[in-house]
Structure 1
Amino acid sequence: MVGRIFVSAGHGGQEGAGIDPGIIAGGTTEAREMILTRDLIVSDLRSRGFEVLSVPDDLSLQQSVAWINARAVLTDVALEIHADGSSNPTVRGTTVYYIADNDVRRSHAELMLLALMRRVPQLPSRGTKPDTAAGTGNLAFLRHVRSPSLQMNLGFLTNPQDRQILQDQRREVALGLADGLASWSRAVSGGTDPDPVYPTVSININGGIYGEQGVIINDNAYIPIDLVDRLGIDLSQNNDIVRVTYRNVVYVKAVDLRNFGISVGWDANTRTVLLRNSTVCPGQIDRIMGLGATSEVQLIVFIKRNNEDALENFPDLPKLYREEAAVEGVDHDVAFSQMCLETDYLRFGVDLRPEQNNFGGLGVPGGTGDDASFPSARIGVRAHIQHLKAYGSIAPLVYPVVDPRFEFVVRGIAPLVGQLSGRWTSDAEYGDKIMAILRQLYSVSDIL
C-alpha cells in the first residue's frame, strides 16, 4: 500500500507577531507563489489516485511540523517547498535539502530534483545538499517531521528568470514535483511491514563500543535515550527532539546531538554510529570572547573547501584572524565564521568589494549606508575584531581604534553570537547563520 503525501508551502503562516510572507520580490511573495504551486501539486497527485494532505497555510513552522506528526506514519512522505532569495539578482537555481548523514534520503532528494529538471529544464540545478549546508545549519522540517521529509527551494524569487519560470510555467513545475513525489512515495512505502523490525547498529563512543545498540528508522540512526543521559545531555525540556518508542525503549535521532556539542558520524562498513565529545567546552562555543580551537591550517582547509579561490587575494587571512583575535581576546573561530558569512567565503558581491578589505560588513558613521574601507587586510581584520569585542566585552582595546563604529556600540551588550541578530544586521537569524558556519568549521576540523 502506498503511503500518504504531505505537501507544505513554505511561509504564509503566523510567525511571531504577524504573517510571514517569506521572500518579497518582483511584486509578489514567496508565500503566494508557493501556495499556488502547492495547490496544483495536490490536485495533480489526487487525480493520480494518491492520498494527499495539504498543510494548512495559517500555521507556523512549528505548528506545521506538529500538524504533520499528528497524522503521519512512517510510510508517508512530506515535502515543503520554498523560494530562495539573494542580494545578488543573478543567483538562481533549484536546491533540494535532505537531513544530513542520510544517504537514502539524499537519493530521494536526487529523485525529486531529477523529476523537476525533466519537466522544467530551464531551471538550473544547484544540486542536493544536506541541511547542515543551509544558512541556519539545520532545517526544522527535516529534523522534526517523523516521516521521511525533504525541502525544495524551487528557485530564486529575486532572480527575474527564475521568478518568470515559477509563475509562467507553474503547471510544469507542479507536474515535475508531482512526478517526483509519486516516485518517492512508492520508494518509501513499497513493501513496508506495518509492524516493522528495525535493523540494529553498533554505537561507538569516544573510541569504545557501547553496550547497547541503536536502530535505523526511516534511514536515520537512532540511539537509546539512556545513552543521551550518559553523555550529560538533558532533553527533558526539549520538545523539538523527535523521540521514538520501539520495543519499550525510547530512541532519539543521533544527528540531533550535534546541537549539544557531540560529534556524530557514521561508519558504513561496520554499520556503526560514531559519537565523540567535543573538545570545545560546552557553553563556550557561542561566546564571542574566548580562545579559538582551530589551527591556521584548519581555517585554510575549511575556507578553500567552500571556495577554492578564496585565498587568492588574501593568502594570509587565516593567520591574520588568529593573530588579531588573540591580541584582543576574541574567539578567532567565531570571527572567521562571521567573515565567511559576510563575504560569502571571500566571493564578496554587490555590497562588499575585495579592495575594501572589509571582512565584517562594517559600515561608516553618518547614516550614509556605505561600507567602510581599510588600507590593508590586517587593518580590516583588526577593525572586525574590534567591533566584535565592542559587543562581547567591556575590556579596553589593546590596539588603537580602527573600527569606525566602535564608539557607538554599548560595550558588552552582546556577549553571545546569537545576540548579534538584529544588532550587527537586521536579520533575525544572523547569529544562527554564524553558528551554522562555526559548527561546519568544527565538523570539518574534527573538533565537533
Structure 2
Amino acid sequence: MGRIFISAGHGERINGVTEPGAVIAGTTEAREMILTRDLIVAALRSRGAEVLAVPDDLSSSATLVWINSRARSGDVALEIRANAFSNPSVRGATVFFIANNAQRRGHADIVLMSLLRRVPQLPSRGSQPDTASGLGSLAFCRQLVPPSLLMEVGFLTNPDDRFILQNQRPDVATGIAEGLIAWSRNVSGLPTPTPPPTPPTPTPETFPPITININGQSYGEQGVLINGNAFIPIDLVDRLGVDLSKAPEVRRVNVRNIVFVKAIELRDFNISINWDAQTRTVFLRSILKICGGSLDRIMGHGSTTDVQLTMFLKSNNEAGVTQFPDITKLYREEGSIEGVNYDIAFSQMCLETNFLRFGGDIKPAQNNFAGLGDVGGTAAGASFPSARIGVRAHIQLLKAYASTEPLVQESVNPRFGFVTRGVAPLIDSLSGRWAADLQYGAKITAILRRLYEFAQIL
C-alpha cells in the first residue's frame, strides 16, 4: 500500500499570514480541519498506514508543490475542507473528484461511504465532479501527481453539521481514515507491502494509448492514459490555439520523447473535454467556435434553447421549474431584446439564487433573480411585480455594466442610472462590482460551461 497525503484545507496564506477560512460561531474552518486532520493521522498510523501531513502554513499552490515533490507511485492525496453557505439549512458531506474520470469517481465513493457508515447522522451530498464546485475546477483534484480527492466534511454554517464535527470528531476521523485505507489499497491493487521509492510516473511502456477526437474528427496521433487521466500531445494543444507558455500549473509529462498535457486542464482555456471509457476516447471541442469567438462577453447572443435551459435547471432543482415555469423563456426573450447573452444572464441567476432555491434575505415572491439592490439599500433588496419584470431588471443592469448602448425598453431597474456604463464588458469584470466576491465571475463562468456541456452544444 502506498503512502497517504492529507491536507487540512483553510484560507490562503496572504502576506505571510494564513487566513482562517470561514469564521462561524466562534470557530474557523482552519481550526476545525486541523483538529480533524490530526485525529485522522493518528487513526491511520494506528492501522499501520504511512501518512504525510501537509504543513499548515503552506498556501494552496505551495501545498501542491509540497505533495508533488514527495509523491511516489501508489500514493494518494486527500484535502479536507468545511463549507459555508448563506442558508443555514444547507448541510452534508461530499467528495469532489476530477471530472470525466470514472475511476476517480469510484475512489470518491469509497471515501465518502466510509465516512457515512461511521457517522450516519451526516447527510450525503454525493460524490461530485470538480466541475460542480463553485469555481468549476479544483486545483487539488487536477494538479497533483498522485490520485487526489477533495472532501467537504460538512457546512460550518449548519448547526447540526457543526455539532457533529465538534462532538463526534473521533467518529468522523475514523470514518475518513478507514476510507483512505480502502482507497489506498484499491489504488495499489489489494494490500501489499509499501513499494520502494519510484519516480512519480510509471515507465512509458505502461501507459495505455487512447484515441483523440477533436471537433467531431478523429485525430491522427494517440494520447496516453496516466493514473486514469487522459493526456494529449502538446502539438494538438497548439493546434487548438491554446498558449500554455504562461501556464506552468498545467501538468505536462514526457513520454517517448513527446510532451503530453493533461486534457482536463484545458477546460480553463475554453476547450470542452469529454471521455468515453468504453472506447477509451477523449473528445475535445472548442467553445469559442460555438460561442462566436468569446465565451465571456456579456453582450451577444445565447446558444441554448428553452428546452435546454429548462432541462438544465430541472437537473439541478426540479422545484424551481415548477415555481417559475416560464423563467427560461423570459431570459431568452428579455436578453435577446437588449442584446445581452441570455446564457450568461441565466447562469448568473443560477448562481445568485442557488438554482431558484433562494434561502438568503431575498425571497421568491420578490422576483429578484440576481441579488439586485434597491435605491434605499435595504437588506431584503429590490422587489418586482412579476417574474418578467424581475428578469428585465436583471438584463438591464447587465447591459448597463457591459455596454454604452441605450435600453430598448423602459428602465425598470432602480439602480440602472448609478452604474458607470460599459465598465464591465466581460463576465470576470463583474467580480468586485456586482458582488464583493473576487471569484464571482469565475463562478458564473463555471455554471455557463456546465450548461453548455449539459446541452451538448460543445
**Please, what TM-score do these two structures have when normalized by structure 2?**
0.94
Closer/same/farther in 2, CA of residues 315 and 281 from structure 1, 3 Å limit: closer
- Map of 1:371 onto structure 2: 381
- Map of 2:94 onto structure 1: 95
Pairs within 5 Å for 1:109-188: 109-188=108-187
- Map of 1:71 onto structure 2: 70
- The residue type paired with residue 402 of structure 1 is V
Give distance in 2, aligned partners of 1:211 and 1:280: 23
- Greater mean alpha carbon deviation, residues 142-151 or residues 273-282: 273-282
Superposition deviation, residue 313 in structure 1: 2.7
- Map of 1:203 onto structure 2: 212
- Map of 1:297 onto structure 2: 307
Give distance in 2, aligned partners of 1:401 and 1:96: 44
3-state secondary structure, aligned to 1:309? helix
Superposition deviation, residue 435 in structure 1: 0.6
Contact 1:13 1:57 in 2 (8 A): no
3-state secondary structure, aligned to 2:285? strand
- Map of 2:223 onto structure 1: 214
Deviations along 1:15-44, whole A, 9 cap, x unmatched?
468532111111100011001111111122
3-state secondary structure, aligned to 1:97? strand
- Greater mean alpha carbon deviation, residues 162-171 or residues 279-288: 279-288
3-state secondary structure, aligned to 1:355? helix
Deviations along 1:341-387, whole A, 9 cap, x unmatched?
11111122232222111111101112322311111111111100111
Closer/same/farther in 2, CA of residues 289 and 146 from structure 1, 3 Å limit: same
Match of 2:323 among 284, 293, 313: 313
- The residue type paired with residue 215 of structure 1 is V
Question: What are the ranges of 5 or more consecutive residues in structure 2 without an aligned counterpart?
Answer: none
3-state secondary structure, aligned to 1:291? coil
Contact 1:261 1:282 in 2 (8 A): no
Pairs within 5 Å for 1:315-354: 315-354=325-364
- Map of 1:269 onto structure 2: 278
Identity %: 62
- The answer to whether the aligner puts 1:244 opposite 2:253 as a matched pair is yes
Superposition deviation, residue 120 in structure 1: 1.3
Closer/same/farther in 2, CA of residues 104 and 335 from structure 1, 3 Å limit: same
Alpha-carbon RMSD: 1.7
Q: Runs of 4 or more off by more than 6 Å in structure 1?
A: none
Give distance in 2, aligned partners of 1:12 and 1:358: 31
- The answer to whether the aligner puts 1:360 opposite 2:360 as a matched pair is no
- The residue type paired with residue 116 of structure 2 is M
Question: What are the ranges of 5 or more consecutive residues in structure 1 without an aligned counterpart?
Answer: none
- Map of 2:49 onto structure 1: 50
Contact 2:362 2:380 in 1 (8 A): no
Give distance in 2, aligned partners of 1:292 and 1:282: 10
- Map of 2:238 onto structure 1: 229
- The answer to whether the aligner puts 1:61 opposite 2:60 as a matched pair is yes
Deviations along 1:129-184, whole A, 9 cap, x unmatched?
01111111111110111210000000110111111110111111111111111111
Deviations along 1:65-93, whole A, 9 cap, x unmatched?
11111111242111000011111111111
Give distance in 1, aligned partners of 2:31 and 2:424: 36
Deviations along 1:177-216, whole A, 9 cap, x unmatched?
1111111112112378964401111111222221211111
- Map of 2:35 onto structure 1: 36
**Please, what TM-score do these two structures have when normalized by structure 1?**
0.96
- The answer to whether the aligner puts 1:432 opposite 2:442 as a matched pair is yes
Superposition deviation, residue 225 in structure 1: 1.1
Give distance in 1, aligned partners of 2:152 and 2:13: 20
